[in-house]
Amino acid sequence: MSTAPTDTEAWRALDAHFETLRGLTLRALFRDDPGRAARMTFEVAGLRADLSKHLATEETVRLLVALAQERDVTGGFDAMFRGDTLNTTEGRAVLHVALRNRAATPVIVGGRDVMPDVGACLAKMRRLVDAVRSGAHVGHTGRPITDVVNLGIGGSDLGPAMVCEALAPYASPSLRAHFVSNVDGAHLARTLAPLDPATTLFVVASKTFTTVETLTNAASARRWLLEGLGDPAAVGRHFAAVSTNHDAVRAFGIDLANCFEMWDWVGGRYSLWSAIGLPIALYVGMDRFEELLEGAHAMDLHARSAPLAQNLPVLSALLGVWYANFFGWESYAVIPYDQSLARLPAWLQQGDMESNGKRTRADGDVVEGYSTGPIVWGEPGTNAQHSFFQLLHQGTRRVPVDFLAPVRSHHPLPDHHDQLLANLLAQAEALMVGKTEAEARAELIASGASEATVARLAPHKVFEGNRPSTTILFDLLDPRTLGALLAFYEHRIFVQGRIWGVNSFDQWGVELGKQLASAVLRELRTEAVGAHDASTAAAIAHVRARRGA
């Protein structure tokens, strides 16, 4: 979608509409409209998403949907699902949805249906997964595999790591999953310290197989394995790879029989549904992995076919645009009341900020007069309540929140889950209704405070309220539900990118980091001198001198 969204009629109407809403309160919206909660709650693919606690009237929603129409969000979904080259700067289709196309209807890229390749890759994954989990695939010394270590970074790490943690209740008790991403040697060394090379399987996950962090970790992992087992032939039974770059995989010494296919039409941050999900499948089994795909597919069907005004990812995305662009709010918090979703904010941070953190539009023009992707952050509740919720309740900044929780727990210890849910529901309500000065005074008086204490403390106990949130509840965090939840966020990102007119599928800012480090690395290791500012040059000289010392 080219052109600026600010040039649309709907944007101008939203600007004018925003002015009419000054003084709007959520308390009043609920008081005046008994049907609001029911009307703005959506049940999709096992998720129950309540969008009623948002600063939006029916007219706001109507205008936001008109914006989605003007930006042709439906056409965007059609183009994505059809395999059009949406990633224009890299000349690629964007087809993570094909990876979970459980109907296997043809998806044509470059004149060729990609679905047989997707199916073949899943079948190959199943063979290795079943063999490892059944004990048929043993290590070099004949012992079964007990530990899988994924070596990958960014999109080749965050998704699988997050999903493995989330689906731990479904894991085999005899197989552990570990994730090493950072080139900081501590990450690999600490992970390997308690492991036995004879029972460890490494998965080198790198779409390009050129990422220095991953290749450095893989080389050290291979050394560790060979030191432990003493035979170069051991690599064959202890290393698998996921990559588009088969030559580099072979050159590393990994048998192509253990190399799993990736395609350039899958972006790294959208790749957990591909063989990048191999550690997930090893950890929870191939059937569970396919259930994850099915959940995502259910959300795909909804995103593609539900009318815009009933479309959950579309509406959630539009509310995000409403806050980012009309209220000028810069961040967005995601708070899972579920410890096993602890890594969800990190995964979403990459998905959202790497996709929509852009200041050049897809048509090549610089974004002017509006902001694009917000800052995404979060931590699990209730922990977050004891750290940054102060700012959410009483800070000068406004941060819309997504609250997430399962109604039932995999760990039903007496009291725990009721407390968890009660906290979530109370927090969402408190953010919305706040506490007036009169209410704060009344509370203090009821507690027996003196007149002077009431006067002194009441202003500090005022909560402005009117702070919006979405609450997403689901029955249990199972693979299907998780798949639907993650696909919901992916589509939300897509819709926002479409509104803002950016290419959500390239990442030149990440590429820059890869180039910059290599020049400095050369200078740290040799006498080479590069052209740097005085501060960087001094830091390089300091490191060289200290290391020399």
Q: Which stretch binds ligand G6Q (CB under 6 A): 12-20, 47-55, 267-275, 456-464?
A: 267-275
Residue nearest to ligand G6Q (CB): 154
Q: Of 354, 417, 490, 523, which residue is the catalytic one?
A: 354
Residues 179 and 202: their CA atoms lie apart, in Å, by 10
Q: Could you tell me which residues come within 8 angstroms of residue 546 by beta carbon, excluding any fewer than 6 positions away?
A: none
Q: Which amino acid is at 492?
A: R
Q: Which stretch binds ligand G6Q (CB under 6 A): 181-189, 264-272, 283-291, 297-305?
A: 264-272
The nearer residue to ligand G6Q, 249 or 477, going by C-beta atoms, is: 249
From candidates 5, 228, 268, 374, binder to ligand G6Q by CB under 6 A: 268
294 noted as active-site residue: no
Q: Could you tell me which residues come within 8 angstroms of residue 417 by beta carbon, excluding any fewer than 6 positions away?
A: 408, 409, 411
Q: Which amino acid is at 341?
A: L
386 noted as active-site residue: yes
Element (H, E) at 526: none
Burial of 116 (0-12, 13-18, 19+ CB in 10 A): exposed
> C-beta of 370: minimal distance to ligand G6Q in Å?
24
> C-beta of 507: minimal distance to ligand G6Q in Å?
5
The nearer residue to ligand G6Q, 211 or 471, going by C-beta atoms, is: 211
Q: What DSSP letter does each residue of 3-61 carry, written as one string?
A: S-GGGSHHHHHHHHHHHHTTT--HHHHHHH-TTHHHHTEEEETTEEEE--SSS--HHHH
The nearer residue to ligand G6Q, 26 or 296, going by C-beta atoms, is: 296
Give residues 144-203 in contact with ligand G6Q (rule: CB under 6 A).
Answer: 153-156
Q: Could you tell me which residues come within 8 angstroms of residue 59 by beta carbon, excluding any fewer than 6 positions away?
A: 17
How many other C-beta atoms can be found within 10 angstroms of the C-beta atom of residue 521?
12
Give residues 479-508 in contact with ligand G6Q (rule: CB under 6 A).
Answer: 507
> C-beta of 137: minimal distance to ligand G6Q in Å?
24
Q: Could you tell me which residues come within 8 angstroms of residue 168 by beta carbon, excluding any fewer than 6 positions away?
A: 340
Give residues 306-365 in contact with ligand G6Q (rule: CB under 6 A).
Answer: 354
The nearer residue to ligand G6Q, 268 or 434, going by C-beta atoms, is: 268
How many other C-beta atoms can be found within 10 angstroms of the C-beta atom of residue 42?
18
Residues 161 and 152: their CA atoms lie apart, in Å, by 10
> C-beta of 516: minimal distance to ligand G6Q in Å?
14
Give residues 205-224 in contact with ligand G6Q (rule: CB under 6 A).
Answer: 206-208, 211, 214
The nearer residue to ligand G6Q, 197 or 268, going by C-beta atoms, is: 268
Give residues 34-73 in contact with ligand G6Q (rule: CB under 6 A).
Answer: none
Q: Can you tell me which residue has the tokens 């600490």?
A: 190
From candidates 5, 159, 267, 336, binder to ligand G6Q by CB under 6 A: 267
Structural contact between residues 47 and 312, judged by C-beta atoms closer than 8 angstroms? yes
φ and ψ at residue 503, rounded to 5 degrees: -85, 105
Question: Residue 279 interacts with ligand G6Q (CB under 6 A)?
Answer: no
542 noted as active-site residue: no
Percentages helix, strand, coil for the chain (3-state, rounded to 5) are: 55, 10, 30
> C-beta of 158: minimal distance to ligand G6Q in Å?
8
What dihedral do alpha carbons 460, 461, 467, 469 form, nearest 10°?
130
The two three-digit tokens of residue 341, written as one number: 């979703």
The two three-digit tokens of residue 433, written as one number: 């209704």
Q: Of 43, 59, 514, 542, which residue is the catalytic one?
A: 514
Q: Of 227, 368, 386, 460, which residue is the catalytic one?
A: 386
The nearer residue to ligand G6Q, 222 or 398, going by C-beta atoms, is: 222
> C-beta of 504: minimal distance to ligand G6Q in Å?
10
> C-beta of 108: minimal distance to ligand G6Q in Å?
24
Strands (E), 233-364: 239-243, 259-261, 331-336
Residue count, binding to ligand G6Q (CB under 6 A):
15
Q: Which stretch binds ligand G6Q (CB under 6 A): 58-66, 204-212, 447-455, 464-472?
A: 204-212
> C-beta of 205: minimal distance to ligand G6Q in Å?
6
Catalytically active residues, by annotation: 354, 386, 514
Binding site for ligand G6Q (CB under 6 A): 153-156, 206-208, 211, 214, 267-269, 354, 507, 510
